Amino acid sequence: MNEKIGMRAFSTLLAVMLMSAMLVPVMAVEEVWQSQGTEQNVQYDMEKYTVRLVDSEIPKELISARTQTAMSSFEEEFKNVPPRYIGTAEVDISEGEKVVAYVFRVLPNGESVSYAEVVSSEDNPSLEEISSHADAWIDGPLKSKTAESLKEGSFGLLSYGPTPIHTATISRTYTGVGRAYLTTTWYWDNQETNSNQDYFFTKTTLRTDPGIDISGYEPYRNYQFNVEIDSDYSVPGYYQHLPGVYVSQNNPQTTTGYTTVGLSLGTGGCVLQWSTAIPDTRVELHHPYGNTYNWDEEFNLWASCAATTFEFTPGQQSYCSQSSARDGSTYVISRAMADVSNGWEKIVDGIVYFAPSGTNAWGHLCKVKWSGGYVQT
């Protein structure tokens, strides 16, 4: 009898040890990643490469300085990350707006992500409310993105599409009217074999939440919005657009709705694919000049898509001179902007109202530079 008990105890202990051996590596993947290579063996400390700022107003200079410090620290320690473009986003807002929350993180593979919450300069939301929004993004999209990158670094998962450089989200709330989010990802085609050109993609999603969907009683509905991608955009005195940039593809084209369309950009082995909803009236593509394109979204006031959260995602491919872009300077891939001026509509006692009034265009741009060795010119 004692021998049987002893054997059972030994079997149980052995099973526990085997389970522990299987679980430890999986748990470790969620917390730490070591760079591969013989030159260095650096552990990835996500807190070291993360910036979190919450205040009644955050100066752009502080955002830029803290972001650059995190990125420079990563570059210094993870020198054997494969050569690639690295980048950060810069918020583009009007003088009547301010940033009250900002989060940034460099992921183990050199990709980075950011979140910014913007309000009117006249608004003063509580720091507790702002913090809850920032932490919700940290515990949601950022946590998921970090886990994905950690697993990719540990297991060497392959990506058959273009390489993400940076993903930025900007949130803007119009009290009693609606809320909008612009999330943009900038990519680099790391599979292109053309030694004269580098190819990039910009994909941006405008999410609009009408007041009637947010509160259940505010009557504002989605009406009209505009999304612009400008690959000619430069920051005078600071950053120029990509050298010799040319936009080769845009999607979607002018399309009537209500429908969902599958889209793609690129040719050959590296293709960016996605799908987007088209509001019930239509989406209309405009090309005002140069490498600037924009899309108008139009909703029927009484359509179901006008009363619920709606996401529209256009995209653009561009290319530039490879040798010039890899000279160590910082360049702008593109600027993505959302214009929600008079974007929501309501009818009260037969009278039509539009909001928000005035100029309400905001967004972000992506600044990039080549990291890991330069092209010899």
Write out the chain's pLDDT in tens, 377 residues.
434 334 333 344 333 333 333 322 322 333 444 444 434 456 888 899 999 999 999 999 999 999 999 999 998 888 767 889 999 999 999 999 999 999 999 998 899 999 999 999 999 999 999 999 999 999 999 999 999 888 876 544 445 689 999 999 999 999 999 999 999 999 999 888 889 999 999 999 999 999 999 887 789 999 999 999 999 999 999 999 999 999 999 999 999 989 999 999 997 778 999 999 999 999 999 999 999 999 999 999 999 999 999 999 999 999 999 999 999 999 999 999 999 999 999 999 999 999 999 889 999 999 999 987 544 33
Using alpha carbons, select from 188, 316, 319 the residue that is nearest to residue 246.
Answer: 319
CA 78, 104, 249, 311 dihedral sign is: positive
Q: Does residue 99 lie within any of the structural domains?
A: yes
Q: Does residue 8 lie within any of the structural domains?
A: no
Which residues constitute the domain of residue 205? 37-371
Distance of CA 347 to the CA centre of its chain: 35
AA identity, residue 101:
A
| Predicted local confidence at residue 149, as pLDDT | 87
Q: Number of folded domains in the chain?
A: 1
Kindly write down the DSSP assignment for every residue of 221-232, as one continuous string: EE-EEEEEEETT
| Predicted local confidence at residue 267, as pLDDT | 75
Q: Does residue 5 lie within any of the structural domains?
A: no
Query: Taking a C-beta distance cutoff of 8 angstroms, is the pair 374, 328 a contact?
Result: yes
Q: Does residue 4 lie within any of the structural domains?
A: no
Whole-angstrom distance, CA of residue 15 vs CA of residue 110? 39
Which residues lie closer than 8 Å to 137 by C-beta, 6 or more apart? 103, 115, 169
Helices then strands, each counted (H, E), the chain: 6, 22
Whole-angstrom distance, CA of residue 194 vs CA of residue 144? 34
Q: Does residue 238 lie within any of the structural domains?
A: yes
Question: What count of Cα atoms within 13 Å lies in the side-chain half-sphere of residue 354?
Answer: 12
Q: What is the pTM of this model?
A: 0.87
Q: Does residue 218 lie within any of the structural domains?
A: yes
Whole-Å CA distances, 363 to 23, 33, 260: 43, 33, 25
Q: Does residue 248 lie within any of the structural domains?
A: yes
CATH of the domain at 125: 2.70.240
Beta partners for 347?
Answer: 352
Q: Does residue 377 lie within any of the structural domains?
A: no
Structure tokens that stand for 362 in this block? 């905001």
